């Protein structure tokens, strides 16, 4: 009987991939990531961060959100592919398994500290599925 482990890790990866795609979509369209206070957006568009005058806080905000979405997509795509097409490589590599867990735990921490309920729950679910996939691979 084939192992369920690759499917659990793939499900974990799919959650992050979907969260990343949604985040990227919300970054460049709609109003979901806009400040509720229009004056704040105007100030962000006018003020630069201390590190440089070559950008504005608004451009940095867009860039940070876009790169965050891309990072989630990258994790989801790479670990989904590893789980489904290269499971022997993934489950045979302590480094890849540990790296995936560390990244997921970092997202759990960040989501708990700085995000809101939906991404936090999604990342926790992805982490639980990943851990169950790891356990199932050792059974």
State the residue range of the domain holding 104. 5-138
Q: What is the pLDDT of residue 139?
A: 85
Those residues of the chain that have pLDDT short of 70 are 1-2
Q: What is the pLDDT of residue 2?
A: 67
Domain count, the chain: 1
Q: How deeply is 76 buried, as exposed, middle or buried, from its count of CB atoms within 10 A (0-12, 13-18, 19+)? A: buried
Q: What is the pLDDT of residue 1?
A: 43
């Amino acid at each position: 009987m084939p192992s369920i482990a690759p499917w659990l890790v793939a499900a974990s990866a799919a959650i992050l991939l979907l969260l990343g795609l949604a985040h990227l979509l919300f970054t460049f369209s709609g109003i979901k990531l806009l400040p509720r206070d229009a004056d704040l957006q105007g100030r962000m568009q006018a003020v630069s961060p201390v590190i440089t005058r070559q950008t504005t806080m608004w451009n940095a905000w867009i860039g940070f959100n876009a790169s965050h979405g891309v990072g989630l997509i990258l994790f989801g795509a790479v670990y989904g592919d590893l789980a489904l097409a290269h499971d022997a490589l993934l489950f045979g590599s302590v480094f890849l398994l540990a790296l995936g867990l560390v990244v997921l735990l970092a997202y759990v921490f960040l989501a708990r500290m700085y995000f809101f309920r939906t991404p936090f729950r999604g990342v926790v679910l992805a982490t639980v599925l990943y851990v169950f996939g790891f356990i199932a691979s050792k059974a």
